[in-house]
């Protein structure tokens, strides 16, 4: 079918076609074959998600760093990491994680901006809470001027890649099963089969799009062999991937103080926050490793230490 071939061609030619273009053609296909599941998903990706409950997992819980400007006594610090230890857990989660209900076009536009990171200011009332918490930790002369969420564009590109891969999986499966069908009417008669393919490739195949979610479907090759709870081996692995010494010291303290959720296969907030900081540092040139590999390398080493 010509429309299927056009969509597949656009999905694999990432330099020539936007993802939004392939989604618009998919909307035409979904409307013509009268498949509600496919049409609902495509419309949500095109216009954005209105309800967090219907938003897929690959758009939720993206970890961000926190950086800000502050005075401590007479010293001014700019673009420094801002600690959240000691804050209410719900607030800390809100500050450290972001959901992205935005339309695909909005996400593509974010990725097209200059620089390798994105920043978003924290509201003044939250800055005041962060400052009060930090002062209570033993910094009586501290004053925060502003705090920004810092996010590597790599995570936004990951969301778009997830959408593209799901749509391509669906199209390839439909082409495999019904490639000999040339008329829309014939394909419309295959509603049950099409709905099953939608559910298998798009709706129920959310995967672990966020490398900081350590679910079982997050496949990472060449997993380092680190004996569970062995600080020596863990430290050695971090040095092998060139993690700076001060960051090694920080994560060693964190993994000893904070346990993961073994039932959900997820790290704690502080460990996730450290990984987000390291990904941001990579994007800014502070850690000599490929941006796309940073999160996976760290998550894999930490998983091995915890025995996950």
- Please spell the DSSP secondary structure of 216-239, one letter per residue: TT---SS-----TT-HHHHHHHHH
pLDDT, tens only, 134-173: 999 888 999 999 999 999 888 899 899 889 999 999 999 9
Q: Are residues 36 and 161 in the same domain?
A: yes
Q: What is the per-residue pLDDT for 108? A: 95
**50 in a domain, yes or no?**
yes
Element (H, E) at 261: none
Q: Are residues 149 and 69 in the same domain?
A: yes
Q: What is the per-residue pLDDT for 214? A: 35
Q: Are residues 144 and 76 in the same domain?
A: yes
**222 in a domain, yes or no?**
no
- The pTM score is 0.67
**209 in a domain, yes or no?**
no
| Total domains in the fold of the chain | 3
Q: What is the per-residue pLDDT for 283? A: 66
* Cβ neighbours of residue 108 closer than 8 Å, sequence gap 6 or more: 18, 19, 20, 160
Lowest mean pLDDT among 42-51, 151-160, 274-283: 274-283
pLDDT at residue 219 is higher than 80: no
Q: Are residues 149 and 62 in the same domain?
A: yes
Paired with 268 in beta bridges are none
Q: Are residues 64 and 148 in the same domain?
A: yes
Q: Are residues 62 and 149 in the same domain?
A: yes
Q: Are residues 45 and 169 in the same domain?
A: yes
**290 in a domain, yes or no?**
yes
Q: Are residues 141 and 166 in the same domain?
A: no
Radius of gyration of the chain (CA): 22
User: Domain residues for 161?
Assistant: 2-57+157-203
Lowest mean pLDDT among 26-40, 82-96, 261-275: 261-275
**289 in a domain, yes or no?**
yes
Query: Encoding tokens for residue 68?
Result: 């800000």
- Tell me the C-alpha distance between 64 and 155, whole Å: 9
């Amino acid at each position: 079918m010509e429309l299927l071939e056009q969509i597949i061609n656009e999905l694999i030619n990432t330099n020539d076609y936007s993802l939004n273009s392939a989604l618009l053609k998919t909307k035409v296909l979904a409307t013509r074959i009268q498949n509600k599941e496919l049409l609902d998903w495509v419309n949500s990706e095109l216009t954005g998600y209105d309800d967090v409950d219907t938003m897929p997992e690959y758009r939720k819980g993206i970890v961000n760093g926190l950086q800000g400007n502050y005075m401590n006594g007479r010293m001014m610090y700019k673009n420094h990491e801002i600690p959240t230890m000691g804050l209410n857990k719900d607030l800390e989660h809100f500050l450290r994680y972001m959901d992205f209900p935005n339309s695909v076009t909005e996400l593509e536009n974010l990725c097209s901006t200059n620089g390798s990171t994105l920043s978003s200011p924290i509201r003044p009332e939250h800055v005041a809470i962060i400052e009060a918490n930090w002062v209570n930790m033993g910094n009586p002369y501290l004053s925060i001027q502003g705090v920004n969420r810092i996010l590597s564009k790599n995570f936004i590109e990951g969301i778009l890649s997830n959408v593209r891969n799901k749509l391509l999986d669906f199209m390839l499966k439909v082409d495999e099963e019904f490639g000999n069908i040339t008329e829309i009417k014939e394909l419309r008669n295959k509603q049950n089969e099409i709905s099953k393919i939608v559910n298998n490739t798009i709706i129920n195949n959310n995967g672990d799009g966020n490398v900081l979610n350590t679910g079982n479907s997050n496949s990472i090759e060449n997993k380092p062999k680190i004996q569970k709870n062995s600080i020596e081996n863990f430290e050695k692995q971090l040095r092998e991937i060139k993690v700076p010494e001060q960051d090694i010291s920080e994560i060693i303290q964190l993994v000893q103080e904070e346990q993961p959720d073994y039932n959900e296969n997820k790290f704690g907030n502080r460990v996730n926050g450290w990984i987000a900081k390291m990904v941001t540092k990579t994007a800014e040139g502070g850690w000599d490793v490929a941006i796309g590999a940073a999160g996976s390398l760290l998550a894999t080493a930490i998983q091995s230490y915890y025995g996950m």
